[in-house]
Structure 1
Amino acid sequence: MIKNHIKIAFRSLSRNKGFSFINITGLAVGLAVCIMIMLYVTHEMSYDTFHKNGKRIYNLRASIKTGGNVMNMASLSYAAGPIVQQNNPVVESYMRTLAYFRPTVVSNPKSPENKFAESKLLFADAGFFDFYSFKLLTGQTSEALKAPFSVVISRDMAKKYFGDANPVGQTITIKTDSAYTYHITGIAENAPSNSSIDFNFVASTKSLLAMKEASMYTGSQEISFGSFNLNLLLKHTADTAELRHNLQAMAKKDKIFDETFYTLSPIEDTHLHMNFGDSSNTKYLKIFPLVAVLILLLALVNYMSLSTARATLRAKEVGVRKVSGASRSSIATQFYVESALFAGISFVLGYCLCYLCKPWFLDVLQLKIDNSFLYSPTVLLCLFALLFITVLIAGSYPSLVLSAFKPVVTLKGKMSKQAGGTAVRKVFTTLQFAISVGLIICGIIIDRQLYYFRHTDTGINRENVVMLPVSTTAVKNYGALKKDISELAGISKIATSHYALYKGYDMFFVAGKNKSDQSVGVANLMGDKEFTSVLDLKWKYPPTQITDIVGRDKVVINELAIEKLHLPANPVGTFLSDGNNKFQVVGVLKNFNFTSMADEMKPLALFTLADTSSLWKRTGCNIFVKIAAHTNLPSLLNKMQGIYKKYDQDTPFNYTFMDDAFNQQYKAEDRLAAIFSLFTYITVILATMGLFGLAAFTIEQRTKEIGIRKILGASLAKIGTLLSIDFLKLVFLSVIIASPIAWWAMHNWLQNFANRIAIPWWVFTLAGVIAMLTAIITISYHAIKAGLANPVDSLRSE
């Protein structure tokens, strides 16, 4: 019986090629989008689930409150691990890791001329490969990281530096603050793409302790700010309550800060809930699945609408089968098999389309997904569930509608008046265009918000400013390096800052006027006397001489700091204190955005240091180069690279245009805009395909009516208007439905930004016009074709 149903299904498919193409293609596109988003969501939700002890591993972070200001400590001090274990018997072991954030140069001593800038250097305690479930291909997990300057390299790095040879037992040179020779004690499989801990090189923590810069990372002997990520392995999963209680008791004993709070979270939640850095991939984890559901719903509605629209062509077939003794269940089964076959073909095509588009999709999200993950049991189960749901929904409504036909009615040719046809298809069409219009509105508003970010005056002139980080080697000759670059033709100004702009800042706590007042946290930047000039910052109350601002006991603030610190209207000459030192206010800058426009503007304290300051050589710095207009940029950058290599031949010459650094802050929104644009195009195409097929069928049903109207003198324009008006009413209704929903969604989304646009009224008009024009163009093809047809042909049977 099933075999016979399949034969009939294939005959129906081949007999109605146009409608079959629209049905299958539309559903395939919807499924492709749904599969891609499903892969993305499943991958994001699966982070760190591969660790065998994952249910017992918890990440420890802390927050401190001092002077009314709460600060999160994503990384803790070196001493934090031992202290927590000593005070908590439920902790079986701990693991400290430090992701080295400075430039790293790696080479094979046997070919020292081949040097590469590398990232993902991780320092870890000795039991790293026992604590986690990263696969060690060669070497012993218990011995790999015991000795100072021992390192385990990833499979990719082993291939890159040693080819097919076994590197275990050999050495490799890794330059951090200085060049050190590391003994390779193992090769690890590349970290999975769904791991929050990533590495190319895992070096022993004892190596870090032996480095020149060790005191920067291991100085504090208390639980405090630090550079180490701390994970705890509990003896039992049920020990979390006791550990939280003990941590709370430890926090109360801590007298360093006003208050200390500890945060304990499963390692499997680290990626989604504890990411204080770039969370752009997780930021819209709830939005994309919703859009995927809408697109799949649109594709299914499209399929069911067209399937039931052609019901009259199968009505007599159903009537004859029922008169011949076929039951409703057998007829429903037949149509269900047909729908299942169509859905199955669509699913295969959708999967192939997803496979072809996956590289683009992952590139837009800047996401890597291992091929092995694509065939994991979780993904295969999700794919099967999606196929099952698609078949279930796609086949249910058409089979119920078609099998319910009454043989007496259908054989008399009165199908068009049966319930369940026209009204349902009108609802389907309205829903399709409502989804399309809603996404069009959202896409335009997202684009406008990003345009606002990039074109609003931030108070900084970012044009033609290059930021050059100075390595730990080159910084030893900082003065000579800066002088040589400043003498190049095409350089109009040059300045120095502790941090690259938009890459971070320190905090400066200003003490209250008396002991009862709480201190106020103020953002702290450090630069030289040319810093304000290179950025073209505007003065509210300028200093008498620019040299007056230089000195560790002098500070320049912004206008917002006057308000937050309750200073006089003109505070120049007043003093600020951090509790130990006093700083004279020597100038006030007009407010400018030195962080993302998505965040609120912050009060600022700018300290100006002399070029001879030891800070630049001790902690490194960034040189800001203002390039004159009409300068040959490639040539100038090559000359700057030559000068840089003069003072540091190992570290790659690296630079960032300030405009690029500014735009980089909005990459999450850029990704959302790109994906939303794609989704919008897809929804419009699907809605258009559905309308195209439905219009063709509707006009086909009214062929005789059109012929009679033409004989009675109706013009082509009148016939086109007559046929279009019903569909345009539905599109207009969809605009009315979608507009308030889209406004509500975008209003809530905009609340995430401190600086945001007001939603303009013309967005809804533009979306409505786009929908209307799309519908008119789609319908016009069939309307003109019907209007030009010879009425004799349509009325011949009469």
Structure 2
Amino acid sequence: MIRNYIKIAFRNLRRNKLYSFINIGGLSLGLSACILIMFYVSHEYSYDKFHADSERIYQLEGKAEFGDQTIFMQNFSPVVAGDLVEKSPSVEAGLRINSEYKPVIVKTTEGTPQSYSESNFFYTDENFFNFFSFNLIQGNKEMVLKRPFSLVISEEISKKYFGKRDPIGQKLEIIKDSTYQFQITGVVENSPSNSSIKTEFITSIATMEKMKENERNFSSQIFQGGSFATFLKLDNIENVASVSETAQKLSKQASTQSKDEYLLAPLEDKHLKSKFDSGIKYLELFPLIALFILLLALINYMSLTTARSDSRAKEVAVRKVNGANRKNIALQFYAESALYVSISFIIAGILSYSLEKRFFNSLNIEIDGGFFFHPIFLIILGAIYVVSILLAGIYPSFVMSSFNPIENFRKKSQGKFGRNLIRKTCTTVQFTVAVVLIIGGIIIKQQMDYLKTLNTGLDRSEILILPLQKSMGNNSQAFRNEIEKNPGVENTAISNNQIYDGYDIFYASTEKTESLALPLMQVDNRFLNVLDVKWRFKPANEELITAGKKIIINETAIEKFKLSQDPRGEFIELAGSPQEIVGVVKDFNYASLENPIDALGLKVSKRDQFSGTGFLYIKYGNTENLQGLISSLADSYNKYDSETPFDYQFMDDKFNALFKSEERLSRMFSFFIILTIIIAGLGLLGLATFTAQRRVKEIGVRKVLGASVLEITTLLSKDFIKLTALAVLIASPVAWYLANKWLQDFAYQTEIEWQVFLLSGVFAVSLALVIVCFQAIKAAIANPVKNLRTE
């Protein structure tokens, strides 16, 4: 019987090529989108679950109160992990990780020395490979981190530095406060893309202790915040609360004044709840949109299948007369649905696998191709396949199996069960979703453009940011002097932290306020000029700004620290040292635009007195040969620092990177919009073709009686245009509500203009008009004699 069902399903597929193409094409596109999006979502939810004991691994987090401010801590002093292992019987093992927050310089020692700037360099305890499940390809996991200056590298790094040679025993130099020589003791498998810990360079905390510049990281020997991420493996997940209580007690023992709170965050949630990865900000939204797109494709199938139900009424009647019951008829149509979905699923799988790398590259997402065969994703694929078959077949099988054979033979079944209403509803739903996505995509794009062109209180244009490493040594001033002679360079400035990428925090107070967090940047006396930061209250003498114990603040700091309207001459205590306020600058955005501007302090040094590493801001003029200027800067840089590769970034690009998640959302929406329009268009084309075929004799009669092509086209098109217009009316308030809610997350918002809704509506109606009129005109110009002869 099943074989017979499949044979009939194939026969119907071949007989109705247009409808088969529309159904399979729409389902393939919908399933491709669903597969790719769920591939991404399942990958994000699988983070860190490959570790054998992932459900028992937690990261310690803390919360400290300072006045009316709350500071969240993710790093702790070096003794915290050991104290918790010792004092809490529920803690099976502890582990510390300290990551270099800036790239380090790695240099080869054999042949012609080569230097590279490398990220993902961290220090950890020697039990790292017992604690986590990273696969050590070469080396003994008990010994690889035992000795100071031992280094474990990834397969990729091994190939980069040593090619096909055995790296074990080889040496690499790491440039920090001085040059340290490391010996390779192990090679670890490249960390999977769903790992929050990247295992490119791993060395021991024993190594860290021997580096002079790291001494401050070990200065605190009490239970409090510090610089080490602290991971704990519990014997039972039910003991989380008791370990948190132990941490609280140890904090109180270290300082009776401590009000710090401690909690354990599951490792498996580390990525999803990260405050530093904006890429997952809209993760919950993507599956919903994928579901909508798949539903649109399934609605197409159901709509076209039920639209053709009248043409198959006699087939159902004959089956029923010959003894088939409702169950048999329903199974027949489920078999057809399974066939269509199966063919579409195979095509969608091939499309998804082929486009996966290109699709995710366009979204700046890195996912291992092998994740396509991950058990979690395969289960999701199976669920999508089964649900698609069930949803595609449920309504057609219900409609067809309920036909009355006597009425079918009498041709009285046409239009029963509200099939016209169902088709109209399906068409309206499709275009409603399409219009919502179009409006949403336009508003997201407008918000991105608004943020990128927003006056942030400083000038970002024509500025290069160049990091200066310790390897530059005392040559930084000579380097600046040389590049400032370049005719393409107008001016330079320097700061200790890169703007939009962090700042130091000090605790400050005034006579009217308790200790509050004050973001602080150290800059030279050209910084304000190069970035065109405006003064609110200019110093009486600009030479004062570089004098000792002087500070500049922004406008927000006046309110935060309850200072006078013109606070020049007043004092703010910074880390126990009184600082005189000598000037106030107008507020400018120095961090993310998601939050309002916070208070800021600027400590200013003279141009030739700025010491240490930092970031050089190079203001260049309008130049037609920008690449030539950059090449010239690189030559000057390499003259004074041959250890560190030349690296730079445009300040505009740095600013735009703040909106990574929104850019990704915008690109996703563009993808969704195109797919939705294609799927809705295919569905409308199928229904328009069906309508024209069903009314072929009516069209013939009207033409014989003198009806023009325009009149017949209008007759066939008006119902579809009405449905599209209704979809626009429904979609507009829905899109406005969703867009308005999304914009509430931004401190700076674009206005939602009525023109967006008008243009989206005109586009949707025009699209429907083109698709429907194509079929309507084709039917209207056909030979009426031939149509009237059709049986």
Same fold (TM over 0.5): yes
Q: Deviations over 1:350-382 (max 9, x none)?
A: 111111221122213322222332212222111
- Matched AA of 1:596: S
Normalised by the length of structure 2, the TM-score is: 0.97
Q: 1:133 to 1:301 in 2, by over 3 A?
A: same
Aligned to 2:105: 105
- Matched AA of 2:740: H
Q: 1:158 to 1:704 in 2, by over 3 A?
A: same
Aligned to 2:559: 563
Kept in 2: contact 1:552–1:607 (CA 8 A): no
Q: Distance in 2 between matches of 1:56 and 1:603?
A: 40
Aligned to 2:310: 312
Q: Find the residue that maps to 2:58 and give its secondary structure.
A: strand
Q: State yes or no: 1:190 paired with 2:190.
A: yes
Kept in 2: contact 1:67–1:258 (CA 8 A): no
Kept in 1: contact 2:438–2:760 (CA 8 A): yes
Bigger Cα displacement from structure 2, 329-338 vs 518-527: 518-527
C-alpha displacement of 1:39: 1.0
C-alpha displacement of 1:164: 2.9
Aligned to 1:719: 712
Q: Distance in 1 between matches of 2:80 and 2:185?
A: 27
Q: Distance in 2 between matches of 1:251 and 1:306?
A: 68
- Matched AA of 1:430: T
Q: Find the residue that maps to 1:495 and give its secondary structure.
A: strand
- Matched AA of 2:643: D
Q: Distance in 2 between matches of 1:559 and 1:110?
A: 55
- Matched AA of 1:276: K
Aligned to 1:629: 622
Q: State yes or no: 1:786 paired with 2:785.
A: no
Q: Distance in 2 between matches of 1:48 and 1:382?
A: 19
Aligned to 1:54: 54
Q: Distance in 2 between matches of 1:197 and 1:757?
A: 37
Q: Deviations over 1:371-429 (max 9, x none)?
A: 33221222211111111111111112112211222112222223323223111111111
- Matched AA of 2:535: W
What pairs with 1:699-714 in structure 2 (closer than 5 Å)?
699-714=692-707
What pairs with 1:502-517 in structure 2 (closer than 5 Å)?
502-513=500-511, 517=513
Kept in 1: contact 2:716–2:776 (CA 8 A): yes
Unaligned runs of 5+ residues in structure 2 are none
Aligned to 1:24: 24
Q: 1:523 to 1:105 in 2, by over 3 A?
A: closer
Bigger Cα displacement from structure 2, 411-420 vs 772-781: 411-420
C-alpha displacement of 1:17: 0.7
Q: 1:112 to 1:71 in 2, by over 3 A?
A: farther
C-alpha displacement of 1:460: 0.9
Aligned to 2:275: 276
Q: 1:523 to 1:485 in 2, by over 3 A?
A: same
Kept in 2: contact 1:152–1:201 (CA 8 A): yes
Bigger Cα displacement from structure 2, 740-749 vs 264-273: 740-749
Q: Find the residue that maps to 1:623 and give its secondary structure.
A: strand
Aligned to 2:326: 328
Q: Distance in 2 between matches of 1:631 and 1:18?
A: 55
Bigger Cα displacement from structure 2, 719-728 vs 177-186: 177-186
C-alpha displacement of 1:638: 1.7
C-alpha displacement of 1:122: 2.0
Q: 1:50 to 1:327 in 2, by over 3 A?
A: same
Q: Distance in 2 between matches of 1:241 and 1:570?
A: 50
Aligned to 1:693: 686
Aligned to 2:221: 221
Q: Distance in 2 between matches of 1:724 and 1:340?
A: 33
C-alpha displacement of 1:710: 2.0
Aligned to 2:671: 678
Q: State yes or no: 1:363 paired with 2:361.
A: yes
Q: Distance in 2 between matches of 1:745 and 1:552?
A: 53
- Matched AA of 2:485: E
Bigger Cα displacement from structure 2, 724-733 vs 164-173: 164-173
Kept in 2: contact 1:512–1:520 (CA 8 A): no
Q: Distance in 2 between matches of 1:9 and 1:411?
A: 23
Q: Distance in 1 between matches of 2:83 and 2:576?
A: 29
Q: Of the candidates 734, 740, 743, which is equivalent to residue 747 of structure 1? A: 740
Q: Of the candidates 586, 611, 621, which is equivalent to residue 616 of structure 1? A: 611
**How many matched pairs?**
791
Kept in 1: contact 2:105–2:116 (CA 8 A): yes
Q: State yes or no: 1:341 paired with 2:334.
A: no
Kept in 1: contact 2:188–2:199 (CA 8 A): no
Q: Distance in 2 between matches of 1:238 and 1:592?
A: 47
Q: 1:142 to 1:268 in 2, by over 3 A?
A: same
Aligned to 1:597: 593
Q: Deviations over 1:123-144 (max 9, x none)?
A: 1111110111111112111111
- Matched AA of 1:369: I
Q: State yes or no: 1:534 paired with 2:530.
A: yes
Q: Distance in 2 between matches of 1:447 and 1:123?
A: 42
Q: Distance in 1 between matches of 2:225 and 2:748?
A: 31
Q: Distance in 1 between matches of 2:375 and 2:259?
A: 46
Kept in 2: contact 1:491–1:626 (CA 8 A): yes
C-alpha displacement of 1:256: 8.1
What pairs with 1:29-178 in structure 2 (closer than 5 Å)?
29-178=29-178
Identity among equivalent pairs (%): 42
Q: Distance in 2 between matches of 1:302 and 1:761?
A: 31
Kept in 1: contact 2:337–2:393 (CA 8 A): yes
Q: Of the candidates 758, 771, 775, which is equivalent to residue 765 of structure 1? A: 758
Q: Distance in 1 between matches of 2:444 and 2:388?
A: 31
C-alpha displacement of 1:579: 6.3
Q: Deviations over 1:218-252 (max 9, x none)?
A: 22223444332110122333321211222222344
Q: Find the residue that maps to 1:511 and give its secondary structure.
A: strand
C-alpha displacement of 1:737: 1.8
Q: Distance in 2 between matches of 1:142 and 1:133?
A: 13
C-alpha displacement of 1:195: 1.0
Kept in 2: contact 1:529–1:547 (CA 8 A): no
Q: Distance in 2 between matches of 1:337 and 1:648?
A: 71
Bigger Cα displacement from structure 2, 185-194 vs 214-223: 214-223
Kept in 1: contact 2:65–2:259 (CA 8 A): yes
Kept in 2: contact 1:90–1:235 (CA 8 A): yes
C-alpha displacement of 1:288: 0.3
Q: Deviations over 1:271-324 (max 9, x none)?
A: 112x231x2231111110110111011111011101111112211111222222
